[in-house]
Amino acid sequence: MSNPIALPLFETISFNPESGRAVYLQLSDAVLLLIKNGKLRSGQKLPASRDLARLLGINRLTVVKAYEELQMQGWLESAVGSGTFISSHVVDHQPTTLGGSLVPSSLKKAGFVLQPLDYLENVSEPAIAGLHLDDGYPDPRLAPLKEFYRAYRSQLNRSGLYDKFGSYSNPAGPGHYREALSLYLNASRGLKTTANNILSVRGTLMGINLVCSALIKPGDVIVSGVPGWRRVEHNFIHAGARPIGIPVDEHGLVVEELRKICLKEKVKMVYVTPHHHYPTTVSLRIDRRLELLRLANTYGFIILEDDYDFDFHYRHRPLLPLASADENGMVIYCGSFGKSFSPAFRMGYLVAAENVIEHLSKVRVILDRQGDHIQDNAMADLLNDGTVQRYLRKTLAVYQQRRDFFCDLLGTALQDVVRFTPPEGGMTVWTQFPDTVDLQKLIKQAYAKGLSISDGKAHQYPGFNVKGLRLGFASSTTEELAKSVEILKRLL
């Protein structure tokens, strides 16, 4: 098929001078689209560059460059003295079988089948409005951003650029950061770690996902509290584990129910947030803490301890983590700076026995060769010079004031509508509503008034009928909290 293609086929081609893309590339895109649409077939001859340039009102060299571009990509071929042709290696397409990247529909829906993950459909992130009672986030306006900026910039200006930028490093994290973090955790949480007990990760969820990938096999039993954190439960399901939920009361996880399960079947891991249980914020009572450790030693299961907001406890000093009393290496402890600084800081850590950290580091390479060592080392400097510790002392007082103010507001403005207990720590108030309140309707109405509220769907379980929301107070000023409660009062 060597006859020239009729010029009218190209009359529909137009150019957008504001697209920022060179005209010759726009022309090559248009010709390629004609090929993929089946309007240009293998072996067909293209118009001479001079004729096409005259038709489109562009420079002949632009057409030549467009042809050369397509020829380099293998779509066209030329013969000296004969002209330019659609490559004989191009398979002819019909429009109905089109799957080319230039077709807008291909960017909306893939041509292959996706396996449904139904368990990821039941939690959504609420829209953010000007006012917010969120899931328990810190106030980034209080974070030591200037100090962090200086520490990060200092890392970029120091010597040893090849060590920092020229090669990969330890997947567990830079030694400087792990040593600084080890000293900090030992002083603040009563741990007895060295740098070899620490693995740097990009937030708590990555750490939990890594634990599931490295230590959990399909069919393994994982026990956690109900209500709990949906995100971590999704990781258990995604790993093929068999999750079992047990009740949480005003004293935390009901460990006696765990003992009954252990008598019947092999438990691989127990996930727990003993300091401030998510979502209800209750603390695990001391006798249950000791019993949980005893059961782990007896039945050999892993305790995955998530201490997501250790630093913010108001009634007394923070309760030391289970990991501080672990004498047999049964606890994997995870924490994060996301609740201390800002969720935008994807900085977390895992603490465990040395051989566990070594094993997790090997698996981590499959997912992420290493973390952000520059950011880690900047944080290490802030730990070593006391910036983090001073910041936490300051924000603890601020958040306690906001908690007290918020609870007083709830207790006066909504005393006949909601039930709550002022939390001993954390950044949210677990607030229960009567059955007559439609929480999803309330959330939508509040958003229309400029207030975003954490998603109540995340705390709904079969057999757990409490209508509860986590109303975060830490990220809002007292003035903002007053406006937020006033909106709720009007709606309720």
pLDDT digits (tens, 9 = 90+) for 262-294: 999 999 999 999 999 999 999 999 999 999 999
Specify the higher pLDDT residue, 21 or 342: 21
pLDDT tens string 462-473: 878 788 999 999
Tell me how far apart the alpha carbons of residues 225 and 281 are, in angstroms, rounded to a whole number: 12
Please tell me the pTM assigned to this model: 0.79
Which pLDDT value is given to residue 346?
81
Does the domain formed by 131-137+397-491 have CATH 3.40.50.1370? no
Q: Which of 224-228, 262-266, 315-319, 383-387 has the lowest mean pLDDT?
A: 315-319
Tell me how far apart the alpha carbons of residues 174 and 361 are, in angstroms, rounded to a whole number: 12
Tell me how far apart the alpha carbons of residues 147 and 385 are, in angstroms, rounded to a whole number: 11
124 pLDDT above the threshold of 70: no
Q: Which of 38-47, 114-123, 206-215 has the lowest mean pLDDT?
A: 114-123
Instruction: Give bridge partners of residue 140 from the DSSP assignment.
Output: none
Three-state SS annotation for 439-450: HHHHHHHHHHCC
Averaged pLDDT for residues 239-268:
95
Give the CATH architecture of domain 7-106: Orthogonal Bundle (1.10)
Which pLDDT value is given to residue 361?
93
Residue written as tokens 């460990």?
255
Structural domain boundaries of the chain? Answer: 7-106, 131-137+397-491, 143-389
In Å, what is the CA distance from 198 to each residue of 184, 319, 351, 419? Answer: 12, 21, 5, 40
96 pLDDT above the threshold of 50: no
Tokens of 10: 């190209």
Give the CATH architecture of domain 143-389: 3-Layer(aba) Sandwich (3.40)
Contact assessment for residue 9 and residue 39, using Cβ atoms and an 8 Å cutoff: yes
Tell me how far apart the alpha carbons of residues 472 and 212 are, in angstroms, rounded to a whole number: 29
Residue 61 identity: L
Averaged pLDDT for residues 459-487:
90
144 pLDDT above the threshold of 60: yes
Radius of gyration of the chain (CA): 30
pLDDT tens string 418-459: 999 999 888 999 999 998 888 889 999 999 999 999 877 888
